[in-house]
Amino acid sequence: GAVVSQHPSWVICKSGTSVKIECRSLDFQATTMFWYRQFPKQSLMLMATSNEGSKATYEQGVEKDKFLINHASLTLSTLTVTSAHPEDSSFYICSAPLAGGREQYFGPGTRLTVT
C-alpha cells in the first residue's frame, strides 16, 4: 500500500510554454502533498505544500505564479510550471503522508527539460 504515482515521468517542452505534472495517491487519500525539486546529485528542496481544498503554501523564494499548484481532490495534486525557462529544468518529486501517519511516501519523480 501507500503508492504515489507521478505523470509524466519525463517531459520536454519549449521555452515559454507551460507544463503540468500530476501527483496521485493510488491507494490512499492525501489531504496534503508536498512538491520538491531536485537538481542532479543535489538534495531535495521543498517547493510547496499542497492542501486539498485550500491554497498551497510556498517556500520562501518559490514563485507561486510560476509554479501553480492545484490540489483538486484527495488523491490528486498538480504542479504547473508556467512560462517555462531552461533554468526550470529539474527533477520534480511529490510526496504524501498517510492519514494519521508520520512518514512520507514518494512519487518516482518527473524530469522536466526545457529547451
What residues make contact with other proteins under the rule CB under 8 A? 32, 34, 41, 43-44, 46, 49, 51, 57, 93, 95, 97, 101-109
C-beta atoms surrounding 100 within 10 Å: 5
- In sign, the C-alpha dihedral spanning 71, 77, 83, 88 is positive
- Distance in Å, CB of 93 to other proteins, minimum: 7
Shorter beta-carbon distance to other proteins: residue 84 or 105? 105
Shorter beta-carbon distance to other proteins: residue 82 or 89? 89
56: Cα within 13 Å, side-chain hemisphere: 26
Shorter beta-carbon distance to other proteins: residue 67 or 105? 105
- Distance in Å, CB of 97 to other proteins, minimum: 4
User: Which residues does 58 contact at the CB level (< 8 Å), separation at least 6?
Assistant: 47, 48, 64, 67
- Distance in Å, CB of 15 to other proteins, minimum: 27
